[in-house]
Structure 1
Amino acid sequence: MKKLIAVAIFLAFAAAGVTYAGTRVEIKDSEQAAAEADMHRRYDHPKTEVVPNDQLEVVVTRDVIMHSCCMPPSLVVGGKITNISGKPIDYVHLHFAFEDKNGKILHGESLYNHHAESLSDDPYIQKILNEKPHFDPILPGKSDTFGFSVSCTELPVFSKIELFSNDIKQ
């Protein structure tokens, strides 16, 4: 009986040796691990989550942290909005909510779709450009874009970004 157990153990170790013979364990040196941690810290962030809207389809096409030699890093979010309602939409006022891990809103930003960007101009800019705020309606089935950029130095530490598009003028 002891011989049988010994043979079984020997065969088990032999099979395990053959199984793990080709396995490689990659050990990262401290410089490589530090470089990967730095890349993660500089470029990773919680991606923007779109809150659904029954009149619009909102698709985020760009959500990155941009770096430049001449300015601090910026969070850049861009996308496309499509009118899925049966009526023209004059403009869409988009709201970004930066939240902590408990869902508390720490910071907010807002913007208009590109065809209505002049709605956010202040009176001084309107005077310089010699124009009044205006918009081009988004017809049913048609699309427009939006773009957002904010310096990361102006943002608090956040765990979630939500994009609301419930401020629509029809």
Structure 2
Amino acid sequence: MTTPFIGEIQLFGFNFAPRGWAFCNGALLPIQQNSALFSLLGTEYGGDGHTTFQFPNFAARAACSQGTGIGLTPRVAGDTFGEAAVTLTLTQMPSHTHAFTVYNQNDPSKRAASPSTGNSLASPTSSSPFASGAEPDAQFAPAMIGPAGGSQAHENQQPYLAVNFSIALAGEYPSFGG
């Protein structure tokens, strides 16, 4: 492996940081013991800037470039944003409908506990939620199916692969300019 630049961030696919590297987990470090790294990072990711500074924190996060893009909000190095879980409201979902058809199956031999060709789940009777005397293969009223979920949040994370972001603690000091 080549000599890294101090402060270089790389991904590693194992559960430890190699020698001379540390996990990008938001750890607070003393400036006095890490002056070269502090001169590059400053307090971009946290710390008081007098005695401590902080590593970037990629624990349970995804990397993002800084800057702006068409239709996107501006991003600055060190920003954290996004939500791990989101509760959708009716105003956030596009208007749509679902047809729901019940198949009247009076032959008990063709009733099944799960959907299968030629079978049905139940027969409309007065003790079931179906209307008595329903026509075979009749469609339910549009209001039969409505919002569900009980206002519970759903996971909102990007697809991920278990790798660790690590930052170089030692190596070459990057040169600035041409």
Q: Could you state the TM-score of these two structures normalised by the residue count of structure 1?
A: 0.21
Structure 1 or 2: more strand by fraction: 1
Using CA pairs below 8 Å that are at least 6 residues apart, which structure has the higher relative contact order?
Answer: 2
Bigger proportion of residues as helix: 1
- Which protein shows a greater Rg? 2
